[in-house]
Amino acid sequence: FRSSLAADVLVPNVANAKRLFCSPSTDEKPQPSMLRHLTSKIKSTGPVTVAEYMREVLTNPVTGYYVKNNMLGPEGDFITSPEISQIFGELVGVWILSEWMGAGQPKQLQLVELGPGKGSLASDVLRVFGQLRSVLGGASVSLHLVEVSPALSRLQAQNLTGDSSQEADAEDEPVYRSGETAAGLPVSWYRRLDDVPTGFSIFVAHEFFDALPIHKFQRTEKGWREVMVDIDPDKEDQLRFVVAPSPTLSSSTLVQADESRSHVEVCAEGGVIVQQLARRIAEDGGAALIADYGHDGTKTDTFRGFKGHQLHDVLSSPGSADLTADVDFSFLRRMAESDVACLGPVTQRTFLKNMGIDSRMQVLLRNCSDPSTRKQLISSYDMLTNPSKMGERFHFFSLLHHSRLAKPKKVEGLTLEKRSPAPLPVAGFTKLKFS
Ligand code: SAH
Protein backbone atom coordinates (compact mmCIF):
# COMPACT_ATOMS: atom_id res chain seq x y z
CA PHE A 1 0.00 0.00 0.00
CA ARG A 2 1.99 2.90 -1.23
CA SER A 3 0.55 5.28 1.31
CA SER A 4 0.89 6.07 5.00
CA LEU A 5 1.20 2.90 7.02
CA ALA A 6 -1.10 2.19 9.95
CA ALA A 7 1.26 1.31 12.79
CA ASP A 8 -0.81 -1.55 14.13
CA VAL A 9 -1.00 -3.62 10.96
CA LEU A 10 0.08 -7.27 11.09
CA VAL A 11 3.26 -7.55 9.04
CA PRO A 12 4.80 -11.02 8.88
CA ASN A 13 8.32 -11.93 7.76
CA VAL A 14 10.08 -8.57 8.20
CA ALA A 15 12.94 -9.79 10.38
CA ASN A 16 14.60 -11.83 7.64
CA ALA A 17 14.36 -9.01 5.16
CA LYS A 18 16.31 -6.61 7.31
CA ARG A 19 19.03 -9.13 8.01
CA LEU A 20 19.56 -9.96 4.35
CA PHE A 21 19.51 -6.43 3.03
CA CYS A 22 21.92 -5.16 5.65
CA SER A 23 24.67 -7.57 4.66
CA PRO A 24 27.70 -5.57 3.44
CA SER A 25 28.34 -5.33 -0.29
CA THR A 26 31.36 -7.30 -1.51
CA ASP A 27 32.00 -4.64 -4.14
CA GLU A 28 34.34 -2.05 -2.61
CA LYS A 29 34.25 0.42 -5.51
CA PRO A 30 32.05 3.49 -5.00
CA GLN A 31 28.79 3.08 -6.98
CA PRO A 32 27.97 5.75 -9.56
CA SER A 33 24.90 7.68 -8.49
CA MET A 34 21.74 7.28 -10.53
CA LEU A 35 21.44 11.05 -11.01
CA ARG A 36 24.99 11.28 -12.40
CA HIS A 37 24.30 8.33 -14.70
CA LEU A 38 21.11 9.95 -16.03
CA THR A 39 22.54 13.44 -16.50
CA SER A 40 25.52 12.13 -18.46
CA LYS A 41 23.19 10.06 -20.64
CA ILE A 42 20.96 13.10 -21.31
CA LYS A 43 24.01 15.31 -22.04
CA SER A 44 25.26 12.88 -24.65
CA THR A 45 22.03 11.76 -26.36
CA GLY A 46 19.36 14.25 -25.35
CA PRO A 47 16.22 14.03 -23.16
CA VAL A 48 14.97 10.52 -22.31
CA THR A 49 11.38 9.27 -22.41
CA VAL A 50 9.60 8.79 -19.07
CA ALA A 51 9.65 5.04 -19.84
CA GLU A 52 13.46 5.04 -20.21
CA TYR A 53 13.76 7.12 -17.05
CA MET A 54 11.52 4.76 -15.07
CA ARG A 55 13.27 1.64 -16.40
CA GLU A 56 16.74 3.00 -15.49
CA VAL A 57 15.68 4.24 -12.07
CA LEU A 58 13.88 1.02 -11.08
CA THR A 59 15.81 -1.80 -12.73
CA ASN A 60 19.31 -0.59 -13.73
CA PRO A 61 21.43 -3.66 -12.86
CA VAL A 62 23.82 -1.67 -10.63
CA THR A 63 21.96 1.24 -9.07
CA GLY A 64 18.29 0.41 -9.79
CA TYR A 65 15.82 0.94 -6.98
CA TYR A 66 14.50 -2.65 -7.06
CA VAL A 67 17.99 -4.08 -7.46
CA LYS A 68 19.50 -2.53 -4.36
CA ASN A 69 16.75 -1.59 -1.94
CA ASN A 70 14.68 -3.22 0.74
CA MET A 71 11.50 -1.44 -0.19
CA LEU A 72 8.76 -3.57 1.36
CA GLY A 73 7.50 -3.37 4.92
CA PRO A 74 7.27 -0.82 7.73
CA GLU A 75 10.90 0.24 7.38
CA GLY A 76 10.82 0.28 3.57
CA ASP A 77 8.90 2.57 1.25
CA PHE A 78 5.54 0.82 0.93
CA ILE A 79 3.59 -2.16 2.17
CA THR A 80 1.52 -4.55 0.09
CA SER A 81 -1.53 -6.74 0.79
CA PRO A 82 0.39 -10.06 1.01
CA GLU A 83 2.63 -8.42 3.66
CA ILE A 84 -0.36 -7.15 5.62
CA SER A 85 -2.11 -10.47 6.16
CA GLN A 86 -1.59 -14.12 5.32
CA ILE A 87 -5.33 -14.35 4.52
CA PHE A 88 -4.68 -12.48 1.27
CA GLY A 89 -2.30 -15.15 -0.10
CA GLU A 90 -4.48 -17.95 1.23
CA LEU A 91 -7.49 -16.70 -0.72
CA VAL A 92 -5.34 -16.30 -3.86
CA GLY A 93 -4.28 -19.94 -3.26
CA VAL A 94 -7.93 -21.02 -3.19
CA TRP A 95 -8.52 -19.05 -6.42
CA ILE A 96 -5.64 -20.88 -8.13
CA LEU A 97 -6.96 -24.27 -7.02
CA SER A 98 -10.43 -23.39 -8.19
CA GLU A 99 -9.15 -22.38 -11.67
CA TRP A 100 -7.05 -25.55 -11.85
CA MET A 101 -10.24 -27.52 -11.11
CA GLY A 102 -12.20 -25.47 -13.65
CA ALA A 103 -9.61 -26.50 -16.26
CA GLY A 104 -10.23 -30.19 -15.57
CA GLN A 105 -7.42 -30.78 -13.02
CA PRO A 106 -4.44 -31.12 -15.40
CA LYS A 107 -1.59 -33.36 -14.17
CA GLN A 108 0.99 -30.56 -14.25
CA LEU A 109 0.43 -27.23 -12.53
CA GLN A 110 2.99 -24.46 -12.99
CA LEU A 111 2.43 -21.62 -10.58
CA VAL A 112 4.15 -18.55 -12.07
CA GLU A 113 4.50 -15.33 -10.06
CA LEU A 114 5.68 -12.08 -11.64
CA GLY A 115 7.53 -9.74 -9.25
CA PRO A 116 7.22 -11.79 -6.03
CA GLY A 117 8.67 -9.16 -3.63
CA LYS A 118 9.56 -11.02 -0.43
CA GLY A 119 7.91 -14.26 -1.56
CA SER A 120 5.14 -13.98 1.06
CA LEU A 121 2.27 -14.42 -1.41
CA ALA A 122 3.82 -17.56 -2.94
CA SER A 123 4.56 -18.92 0.51
CA ASP A 124 0.93 -18.43 1.65
CA VAL A 125 -0.35 -20.01 -1.59
CA LEU A 126 1.89 -23.05 -1.12
CA ARG A 127 0.70 -23.45 2.48
CA VAL A 128 -2.89 -23.71 1.16
CA PHE A 129 -1.73 -26.25 -1.42
CA GLY A 130 -0.17 -28.27 1.43
CA GLN A 131 -3.38 -28.11 3.49
CA LEU A 132 -5.51 -29.10 0.49
CA ARG A 133 -3.16 -31.82 -0.77
CA SER A 134 -6.07 -34.24 -1.08
CA VAL A 135 -7.75 -31.84 -3.57
CA LEU A 136 -4.59 -31.60 -5.68
CA GLY A 137 -4.33 -35.39 -5.75
CA GLY A 138 -1.31 -36.57 -7.72
CA ALA A 139 -0.85 -33.32 -9.70
CA SER A 140 2.78 -32.24 -9.88
CA VAL A 141 3.18 -28.63 -8.81
CA SER A 142 6.17 -26.38 -9.54
CA LEU A 143 6.82 -22.73 -8.68
CA HIS A 144 8.35 -20.30 -11.20
CA LEU A 145 9.32 -16.79 -10.12
CA VAL A 146 10.04 -13.93 -12.54
CA GLU A 147 12.22 -11.48 -10.62
CA VAL A 148 14.60 -8.85 -11.94
CA SER A 149 16.29 -8.14 -8.59
CA PRO A 150 19.03 -10.55 -7.44
CA ALA A 151 18.75 -9.18 -3.88
CA LEU A 152 15.00 -9.85 -3.73
CA SER A 153 15.49 -13.30 -5.29
CA ARG A 154 17.80 -14.18 -2.37
CA LEU A 155 15.16 -13.03 0.08
CA GLN A 156 12.43 -15.00 -1.73
CA ALA A 157 14.69 -18.07 -1.75
CA GLN A 158 15.28 -17.75 1.99
CA ASN A 159 11.53 -17.53 2.64
CA LEU A 160 10.51 -20.31 0.27
CA THR A 161 13.36 -22.79 0.24
CA GLY A 162 15.43 -22.01 3.36
CA ASP A 163 19.11 -22.52 2.56
CA SER A 164 18.48 -25.06 -0.21
CA SER A 165 18.61 -22.76 -3.27
CA GLN A 166 21.59 -22.42 -5.57
CA GLU A 167 22.64 -19.76 -8.05
CA ALA A 168 23.30 -20.83 -11.65
CA ASP A 169 26.98 -21.28 -12.59
CA ALA A 170 26.82 -19.08 -15.70
CA GLU A 171 25.40 -15.53 -15.70
CA ASP A 172 23.32 -16.03 -18.85
CA GLU A 173 21.41 -19.13 -17.69
CA PRO A 174 17.63 -18.58 -18.08
CA VAL A 175 17.12 -20.18 -14.64
CA TYR A 176 19.45 -18.03 -12.54
CA ARG A 177 18.55 -19.66 -9.22
CA SER A 178 16.78 -22.86 -8.24
CA GLY A 179 15.79 -24.67 -5.06
CA GLU A 180 13.16 -26.80 -3.41
CA THR A 181 10.53 -26.05 -0.76
CA ALA A 182 10.41 -28.02 2.50
CA ALA A 183 7.58 -30.07 0.95
CA GLY A 184 9.81 -30.91 -2.04
CA LEU A 185 8.29 -28.61 -4.70
CA PRO A 186 10.81 -27.31 -7.25
CA VAL A 187 11.27 -23.50 -7.39
CA SER A 188 13.03 -21.69 -10.26
CA TRP A 189 13.93 -18.03 -10.79
CA TYR A 190 13.95 -16.21 -14.17
CA ARG A 191 14.67 -12.65 -15.23
CA ARG A 192 11.96 -12.62 -17.92
CA LEU A 193 8.61 -14.29 -18.52
CA ASP A 194 9.93 -15.55 -21.89
CA ASP A 195 12.31 -17.87 -20.05
CA VAL A 196 9.56 -19.70 -18.10
CA PRO A 197 8.84 -23.11 -19.68
CA THR A 198 5.54 -23.56 -21.51
CA GLY A 199 2.79 -25.78 -20.07
CA PHE A 200 -0.46 -25.36 -18.14
CA SER A 201 0.22 -22.39 -15.85
CA ILE A 202 -1.59 -20.14 -13.45
CA PHE A 203 0.06 -16.70 -13.43
CA VAL A 204 -0.15 -14.26 -10.55
CA ALA A 205 1.01 -10.63 -10.69
CA HIS A 206 0.44 -8.56 -7.56
CA GLU A 207 1.69 -4.95 -7.68
CA PHE A 208 3.88 -5.91 -10.63
CA PHE A 209 2.35 -4.04 -13.58
CA ASP A 210 2.42 -0.70 -11.72
CA ALA A 211 6.22 -0.95 -11.55
CA LEU A 212 6.65 -1.29 -15.33
CA PRO A 213 7.78 1.78 -17.32
CA ILE A 214 5.10 4.07 -18.74
CA HIS A 215 5.22 6.51 -21.63
CA LYS A 216 3.50 9.84 -21.00
CA PHE A 217 1.77 11.85 -23.72
CA GLN A 218 0.39 15.39 -23.71
CA ARG A 219 -2.23 16.72 -26.11
CA THR A 220 -0.95 19.99 -27.65
CA GLU A 221 -2.22 22.37 -30.33
CA LYS A 222 0.03 20.53 -32.79
CA GLY A 223 -1.20 17.05 -31.75
CA TRP A 224 0.04 14.42 -29.29
CA ARG A 225 3.57 14.91 -27.97
CA GLU A 226 5.64 12.66 -25.71
CA VAL A 227 6.68 13.95 -22.27
CA MET A 228 10.46 13.62 -21.78
CA VAL A 229 12.92 14.03 -18.90
CA ASP A 230 15.65 16.66 -19.37
CA ILE A 231 18.25 18.47 -17.24
CA ASP A 232 16.99 21.71 -15.71
CA PRO A 233 18.99 24.46 -17.51
CA ASP A 234 19.06 26.54 -14.30
CA LYS A 235 20.32 23.75 -12.04
CA GLU A 236 22.85 21.19 -13.29
CA ASP A 237 21.86 18.53 -10.79
CA GLN A 238 18.12 18.77 -11.20
CA LEU A 239 15.82 17.12 -13.72
CA ARG A 240 12.61 18.49 -15.22
CA PHE A 241 9.84 17.39 -17.59
CA VAL A 242 9.74 18.77 -21.12
CA VAL A 243 7.40 18.11 -24.05
CA ALA A 244 9.04 16.76 -27.24
CA PRO A 245 8.85 19.43 -29.99
CA SER A 246 7.87 16.90 -32.67
CA PRO A 247 6.13 13.51 -32.71
CA THR A 248 8.09 10.44 -31.51
CA LEU A 249 7.52 6.88 -32.69
CA SER A 250 5.67 6.23 -29.42
CA SER A 251 3.46 9.32 -29.62
CA SER A 252 2.45 8.33 -33.17
CA THR A 253 1.66 4.71 -32.33
CA LEU A 254 0.64 4.36 -28.68
CA VAL A 255 -2.17 6.91 -28.34
CA GLN A 256 -5.63 5.69 -29.43
CA ALA A 257 -7.10 7.55 -32.40
CA ASP A 258 -10.34 8.37 -30.50
CA GLU A 259 -8.60 9.35 -27.24
CA SER A 260 -10.56 12.08 -25.43
CA ARG A 261 -8.24 12.81 -22.48
CA SER A 262 -5.62 15.53 -22.72
CA HIS A 263 -2.87 13.55 -20.99
CA VAL A 264 -2.36 9.77 -21.15
CA GLU A 265 0.05 7.19 -19.78
CA VAL A 266 0.71 4.01 -21.76
CA CYS A 267 2.64 1.07 -20.34
CA ALA A 268 3.87 -0.53 -23.56
CA GLU A 269 5.94 -3.12 -21.67
CA GLY A 270 2.86 -4.12 -19.65
CA GLY A 271 1.02 -4.54 -22.97
CA VAL A 272 3.73 -6.88 -24.28
CA ILE A 273 3.72 -8.95 -21.08
CA VAL A 274 -0.06 -9.29 -21.00
CA GLN A 275 0.00 -10.42 -24.65
CA GLN A 276 2.60 -13.06 -23.76
CA LEU A 277 0.39 -14.25 -20.89
CA ALA A 278 -2.67 -14.35 -23.16
CA ARG A 279 -0.87 -16.31 -25.86
CA ARG A 280 0.46 -18.84 -23.36
CA ILE A 281 -2.98 -19.33 -21.81
CA ALA A 282 -4.57 -19.75 -25.26
CA GLU A 283 -1.96 -22.34 -26.29
CA ASP A 284 -1.24 -24.28 -23.09
CA GLY A 285 -4.29 -23.59 -20.90
CA GLY A 286 -4.35 -21.80 -17.57
CA ALA A 287 -5.30 -18.42 -16.20
CA ALA A 288 -3.79 -15.18 -14.90
CA LEU A 289 -4.74 -13.10 -11.89
CA ILE A 290 -3.52 -9.50 -12.03
CA ALA A 291 -4.06 -7.36 -8.94
CA ASP A 292 -3.01 -3.74 -8.73
CA TYR A 293 -4.24 -0.22 -8.28
CA GLY A 294 -5.58 1.14 -11.49
CA HIS A 295 -8.40 2.48 -13.61
CA ASP A 296 -10.29 1.57 -16.74
CA GLY A 297 -8.81 4.08 -19.16
CA THR A 298 -10.13 7.15 -17.35
CA LYS A 299 -7.23 8.66 -15.37
CA THR A 300 -4.57 11.02 -16.65
CA ASP A 301 -1.45 11.79 -14.56
CA THR A 302 -0.83 9.02 -12.01
CA PHE A 303 2.99 8.81 -12.13
CA ARG A 304 4.29 9.18 -8.56
CA GLY A 305 7.08 8.28 -6.18
CA PHE A 306 7.07 6.77 -2.69
CA LYS A 307 9.75 6.96 -0.07
CA GLY A 308 9.29 5.99 3.57
CA HIS A 309 5.50 5.64 3.04
CA GLN A 310 5.27 9.28 1.87
CA LEU A 311 4.74 10.73 -1.61
CA HIS A 312 8.05 11.64 -3.20
CA ASP A 313 8.83 13.89 -6.21
CA VAL A 314 9.45 11.47 -9.12
CA LEU A 315 12.40 13.49 -10.44
CA SER A 316 14.29 14.15 -7.21
CA SER A 317 17.11 11.83 -6.01
CA PRO A 318 16.25 9.15 -8.59
CA GLY A 319 16.89 5.60 -7.37
CA SER A 320 16.11 6.44 -3.75
CA ALA A 321 12.31 6.12 -4.08
CA ASP A 322 9.82 3.76 -5.67
CA LEU A 323 8.23 4.98 -8.90
CA THR A 324 4.80 3.78 -9.88
CA ALA A 325 1.81 4.50 -12.11
CA ASP A 326 -1.77 3.25 -11.99
CA VAL A 327 -2.44 0.26 -14.23
CA ASP A 328 -4.77 0.95 -17.16
CA PHE A 329 -6.89 -2.22 -17.18
CA SER A 330 -8.71 -1.16 -20.36
CA PHE A 331 -5.34 -1.19 -22.15
CA LEU A 332 -4.47 -4.66 -20.77
CA ARG A 333 -7.89 -5.91 -21.93
CA ARG A 334 -7.36 -4.48 -25.43
CA MET A 335 -3.97 -6.20 -25.65
CA ALA A 336 -5.25 -9.60 -24.43
CA GLU A 337 -8.84 -10.06 -25.55
CA SER A 338 -8.19 -11.55 -28.97
CA ASP A 339 -6.53 -14.57 -27.32
CA VAL A 340 -8.33 -14.97 -23.97
CA ALA A 341 -11.47 -14.06 -22.07
CA CYS A 342 -10.99 -11.16 -19.61
CA LEU A 343 -12.86 -10.75 -16.33
CA GLY A 344 -12.91 -7.65 -14.17
CA PRO A 345 -11.51 -5.42 -12.96
CA VAL A 346 -13.44 -5.87 -9.70
CA THR A 347 -12.43 -4.09 -6.50
CA GLN A 348 -10.22 -5.88 -3.98
CA ARG A 349 -13.09 -5.66 -1.49
CA THR A 350 -15.47 -7.44 -3.87
CA PHE A 351 -12.88 -10.06 -4.82
CA LEU A 352 -11.92 -10.89 -1.22
CA LYS A 353 -15.55 -10.91 -0.04
CA ASN A 354 -16.52 -13.20 -2.95
CA MET A 355 -13.59 -15.46 -2.02
CA GLY A 356 -14.98 -15.82 1.51
CA ILE A 357 -12.69 -13.53 3.53
CA ASP A 358 -15.46 -13.04 6.12
CA SER A 359 -15.81 -16.77 6.82
CA ARG A 360 -12.01 -17.15 7.00
CA MET A 361 -11.84 -14.25 9.48
CA GLN A 362 -14.50 -15.82 11.66
CA VAL A 363 -12.51 -19.08 11.84
CA LEU A 364 -9.26 -17.26 12.67
CA LEU A 365 -10.95 -15.12 15.35
CA ARG A 366 -12.70 -18.15 16.86
CA ASN A 367 -9.32 -19.87 17.25
CA CYS A 368 -7.51 -16.85 18.63
CA SER A 369 -7.83 -15.69 22.22
CA ASP A 370 -4.81 -13.36 22.44
CA PRO A 371 -6.26 -9.81 22.46
CA SER A 372 -3.36 -8.19 20.61
CA THR A 373 -3.39 -10.81 17.81
CA ARG A 374 -7.17 -10.42 17.52
CA LYS A 375 -6.70 -6.66 17.20
CA GLN A 376 -4.07 -7.17 14.50
CA LEU A 377 -6.34 -9.56 12.60
CA ILE A 378 -9.21 -7.09 12.64
CA SER A 379 -7.05 -4.13 11.64
CA SER A 380 -5.43 -6.03 8.74
CA TYR A 381 -8.90 -7.16 7.56
CA ASP A 382 -9.98 -3.53 7.67
CA MET A 383 -6.88 -2.38 5.76
CA LEU A 384 -7.49 -4.95 2.99
CA THR A 385 -11.24 -4.47 2.57
CA ASN A 386 -12.22 -0.99 3.78
CA PRO A 387 -13.33 1.05 0.73
CA SER A 388 -11.36 4.07 1.97
CA LYS A 389 -8.17 1.99 2.45
CA MET A 390 -7.11 -0.78 0.05
CA GLY A 391 -10.62 -2.15 -0.57
CA GLU A 392 -11.48 0.09 -3.50
CA ARG A 393 -8.08 1.36 -4.62
CA PHE A 394 -6.95 -2.10 -5.68
CA HIS A 395 -8.56 -4.13 -8.44
CA PHE A 396 -8.48 -7.75 -9.62
CA PHE A 397 -8.41 -8.61 -13.28
CA SER A 398 -8.24 -12.06 -14.80
CA LEU A 399 -7.30 -13.68 -18.10
CA LEU A 400 -8.97 -17.02 -18.78
CA HIS A 401 -8.89 -19.62 -21.51
CA HIS A 402 -11.93 -19.04 -23.79
CA SER A 403 -13.22 -22.54 -23.01
CA ARG A 404 -13.52 -21.59 -19.35
CA LEU A 405 -16.50 -19.30 -19.96
CA ALA A 406 -17.91 -21.00 -23.06
CA LYS A 407 -21.63 -21.77 -22.99
CA PRO A 408 -22.35 -25.52 -22.77
CA LYS A 409 -22.92 -26.91 -26.28
CA LYS A 410 -26.09 -28.76 -27.19
CA VAL A 411 -25.21 -31.93 -29.06
CA GLU A 412 -27.39 -31.94 -32.17
CA GLY A 413 -28.76 -34.96 -33.99
CA LEU A 414 -28.88 -37.31 -31.03
CA THR A 415 -32.08 -38.70 -29.67
CA LEU A 416 -30.75 -38.73 -26.12
CA GLU A 417 -30.25 -35.18 -24.93
CA LYS A 418 -26.65 -34.81 -23.84
CA ARG A 419 -25.06 -31.58 -22.73
CA SER A 420 -21.51 -30.80 -21.72
CA PRO A 421 -21.43 -29.65 -18.08
CA ALA A 422 -22.00 -25.96 -17.37
CA PRO A 423 -18.71 -24.19 -16.57
CA LEU A 424 -17.96 -23.55 -12.90
CA PRO A 425 -18.33 -19.88 -11.92
CA VAL A 426 -15.01 -18.07 -11.66
CA ALA A 427 -14.22 -17.61 -7.97
CA GLY A 428 -13.72 -14.05 -6.76
CA PHE A 429 -15.50 -12.54 -9.74
CA THR A 430 -18.83 -14.12 -8.77
CA LYS A 431 -20.04 -14.82 -5.26
CA LEU A 432 -19.16 -18.29 -3.96
CA LYS A 433 -21.85 -20.09 -1.99
CA PHE A 434 -20.74 -22.02 1.07
CA SER A 435 -23.29 -24.77 1.66
N1 SAH B 1 4.33 -8.76 -5.50
C2 SAH B 1 5.03 -8.27 -4.35
C3 SAH B 1 6.09 -7.20 -4.68
C4 SAH B 1 5.64 -5.96 -5.38
S5 SAH B 1 6.97 -4.85 -5.73
C6 SAH B 1 4.05 -7.78 -3.32
O7 SAH B 1 2.93 -7.47 -3.67
O8 SAH B 1 4.44 -7.67 -2.14
C9 SAH B 1 7.37 -5.21 -7.42
C10 SAH B 1 8.12 -6.52 -7.65
O11 SAH B 1 8.35 -6.66 -9.05
C12 SAH B 1 9.50 -6.61 -7.00
O13 SAH B 1 9.73 -7.96 -6.65
C14 SAH B 1 10.42 -6.15 -8.14
O15 SAH B 1 11.76 -6.50 -7.96
C16 SAH B 1 9.75 -6.82 -9.31
N17 SAH B 1 10.00 -6.21 -10.62
C18 SAH B 1 9.90 -4.90 -10.92
N19 SAH B 1 10.13 -4.71 -12.25
C20 SAH B 1 10.34 -5.93 -12.77
C21 SAH B 1 10.62 -6.40 -14.10
N22 SAH B 1 10.73 -5.56 -15.12
N23 SAH B 1 10.77 -7.74 -14.28
C24 SAH B 1 10.66 -8.61 -13.24
N25 SAH B 1 10.41 -8.21 -11.97
C26 SAH B 1 10.25 -6.89 -11.74
Which residue CA neighbors atom 23 of ligand 1 most closely? 148
Q: Is the CB of 73 under 6 A from ligand 1?
A: no
pLDDT per position as a tens digit, 322-336: 999 999 999 999 999
Establish whether residue 69 lines the binding site of ligand 1, counting it when its CB lies within 6 angstroms of any ligand atom. Answer: no
Ligand 1 mutation target, pool 67, 84, 125, 149, most atoms within 8 A of CB? 149
What confidence tens digit (pLDDT) does each residue in 196-247 have? 999 999 999 999 999 999 999 999 999 999 999 999 999 888 999 999 999 9
Instruction: Measure 368 CA to ligand 1 centroid, in angstroms.
Output: 33
Least confident of 7-16, 145-154, 158-167: 7-16
> What's the pTM?
0.90
Q: Tell how far the Cα of 116 is from the centroid of ligand 1, in angstroms.
A: 6
The finding on whether 323 has its CB within 6 A of some atom of ligand 1 is no
- The protein residue whose alpha carbon is closest to atom 14 in ligand 1 is 115
146 lines ligand 1 (CB under 6 A): yes
170-176: average pLDDT: 90
Q: Is the CB of 213 under 6 A from ligand 1?
A: no
Ligand 1 lined by 226 (C-beta under 6 Å): no
Predicted confidence band of residue 16 (pLDDT cuts 50, 70, 90): very low
In short, whether 37's Cβ falls inside 6 Å of ligand 1 is no
Could you tell me the domains of the chain? 69-213+267-348+394-402 (3.40.50.150)
pLDDT in tens, 142-151: 999 999 999 9
With a 6 Å cutoff on the Cβ, whether 156 touches ligand 1 is no
What per-residue confidence (pLDDT) applies to 432?
59
Q: Does the beta carbon of 112 sit less than 6 angstroms from any atom of ligand 1?
A: no
Atom of ligand 1 nearest to the CA of 149: 15
> HEC profile for the chain?
CCCCCCCCCCCCCHHHHHHHHCCCCCCCCCCCCHHHHHHHHHHHHCCEEHHHHHHHHHHCCCCCHHHHCCCECCCCCECCHHHHCHHHHHHHHHHHHHHHHHCCCCCEEEEEEECCCCCHHHHHHHHHHHHCHHHHCCCEEEEEEECCCHHHHHHHHHHHHCCCCEECCCCCCCCCEEEECCCCCEEEEECCHHHCCCCCEEEEEECCHHHCCCEEEEEECCEEEEEEEEECCCCCCCEEEEECCCCCHHHHHCCCCCCCCCEEEECHHHHHHHHHHHHHHHHHCEEEEEEEEEECCCCCCCCEEEECCEEECCCCCCCCCEEECCEEHHHHHHHHCCCCEEEEEEEHHHHHHHCCHHHHHHHHHHCCCCHHHHHHHHHHHHHHHCHHHHHCCEEEEEEECHHHHCCCCECCCCCCCCECCCCCCCECCECCCCC
Calculate how far, in angstroms, residue 220's C-alpha sits from the geometric centre of ligand 1: 34
Mean pLDDT of the chain: 89
**98 Cβ closer than 6 Å to some ligand 1 atom:** no
Res 405: pLDDT: 85
6 — pLDDT class (breaks 50, 70, 90): very low
425 C-alpha vs ligand 1 centroid, how far in Å? Answer: 30
Model confidence at 409: pLDDT above 90: no
CB 149 less than 6 A from any atom of ligand 1: yes
